[in-house]
């Protein structure tokens, strides 16, 4: 399995970083975790074809995790007609908005819902296509907006490996919503955000983390980088920072 980091920025892109978007490549099957970067362009630039895409999983509805979806879904609807994939969104209003926009910009053909399959997920959702198993864990990142705005971390299991993507975590460290499974099990890798707390506040989960490696992305403000680098070597597992274009093979 290859994990390609298409976008590693926080809520705002920079000269070197797109917003959140990660591509899992397992054989000839592709999956996206969040779509805050121009995913269809990045697939093509990396020699991958949208026809290989099987599913897109969103951690939450914020634009830095979703804004690249419109381009992907629109192009796959009208041009890449061999493509067919599921899009797991966290809010029905988001599904309605994207479907509506595609129907507006492609008024002559409308959305082909047999191929571009928007689906609402919830905390009981488990995706398993025999190649990858994706299990969500609720976080409290969106709780400040009010009820009806869920957010999730994901456990991804494929080829005997276990990866955790935290998505965005709470703005309030008192919520302690770093995924519990990574404090309990020796997962192979966790990709953790670093925008809503400080490297020092991360101590509560870093000290109990049972995984083999931990990588930070979604870093804001960028001045944190040196303090994050200083964390490596403090614990029994390596810690590093992700950049756009990084590829990890597991």
Q: Catalog residues that contact Zn ion under the rule CB under 5 A.
A: 62, 64, 168
Indicate the burial class of 186 (C-beta count within 10 angstroms; 0-12, 13-18, 19 or more).
exposed
What's phi and psi for 38, nearest 5 deg? -70, 80
Task: State in angstroms the smallest separation of the CB of 112 from Zn ion.
Answer: 30
Contact partners, residue 103, CB within 8 Å, separation at least 6: 110, 111
**Whose Cβ is closer to Zn ion: residue 7's or residue 211's?**
7
Asked whether 125 and 136 are in contact (CB, 8 A), the reply is: yes
Task: State in angstroms the smallest separation of the CB of 230 from Zn ion.
Answer: 24
**Whose Cβ is closer to Zn ion: residue 152's or residue 209's?**
152
Task: State in angstroms the smallest separation of the CB of 191 from Zn ion.
Answer: 13
Asked whether 193 and 64 are in contact (CB, 8 A), the reply is: no
Asked whether 95 and 118 are in contact (CB, 8 A), the reply is: yes
Chain residue at closest Cβ approach to Zn ion = 62
**Which tokens is 155 given?**
């456990």
**Whose Cβ is closer to Zn ion: residue 54's or residue 62's?**
62
**Whose Cβ is closer to Zn ion: residue 20's or residue 83's?**
20
Task: State in angstroms the smallest separation of the CB of 9 from Zn ion.
Answer: 9
Task: State in angstroms the smallest separation of the CB of 60 from Zn ion.
Answer: 6
Task: State in angstroms the smallest separation of the CB of 201 from Zn ion.
Answer: 17
**Which tokens is 58 given?**
């969103």
**Whose Cβ is closer to Zn ion: residue 24's or residue 61's?**
61
**Whose Cβ is closer to Zn ion: residue 21's or residue 23's?**
21
**Whose Cβ is closer to Zn ion: residue 127's or residue 152's?**
152
Residue showing tokens 């009820």: 147
Tell me which long-range contacts 221-227 makes (C-beta under 8 A, separation of at least 24): 222/14, 224/194, 224/198, 224/199, 227/198, 227/199, 227/200
Residue showing tokens 């990866």: 163
CA distances from 152 to 31, 147, 186, 210 (A): 17, 14, 20, 20
Task: State in angstroms the smallest separation of the CB of 178 from Zn ion.
Answer: 15
């Amino acid at each position: 399995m290859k994990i390609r980091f298409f976008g590693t920025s926080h809520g705002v892109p920079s000269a070197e970083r797109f917003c959140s978007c990660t591509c899992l490549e397992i054989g000839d099957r592709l999956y996206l975790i969040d779509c805050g970067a121009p995913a269809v362009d990045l697939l093509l630039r990396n020699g991958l074809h949208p026809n290989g895409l099987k599913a897109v999983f969103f951690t939450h509805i914020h634009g830095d995790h979703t804004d690249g979806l419109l381009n992907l879904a629109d192009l796959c609807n009208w041009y890449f007609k061999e493509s067919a994939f599921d899009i797991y969104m966290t809010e029905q209003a988001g599904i309605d908005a994207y479907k509506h926009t595609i129907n507006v910009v492609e008024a002559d053909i409308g959305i082909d819902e047999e191929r571009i399959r928007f689906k609402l997920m919830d905390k009981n959702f488990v995706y398993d296509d025999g190649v990858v198993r994706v299990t969500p864990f609720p976080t409290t990142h969106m709780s400040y907006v009010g009820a009806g705005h869920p957010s999730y971390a994901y456990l991804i299991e494929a080829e005997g490996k276990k990866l955790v993507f935290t998505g965005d975590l709470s703005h309030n460290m008192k919520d302690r919503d770093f995924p519990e499974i990574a404090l309990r099990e020796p997962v192979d890798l966790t990709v953790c955000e670093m925008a809503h707390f400080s490297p020092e506040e991360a101590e509560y989960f870093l000290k109990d983390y049972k995984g083999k490696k931990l990588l930070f992305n979604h870093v804001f403000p960028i001045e944190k980088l040196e303090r994050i680098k200083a964390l490596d070597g403090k614990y029994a597992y390596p810690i590093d920072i992700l950049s756009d274009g990084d590829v990890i093979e597991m």
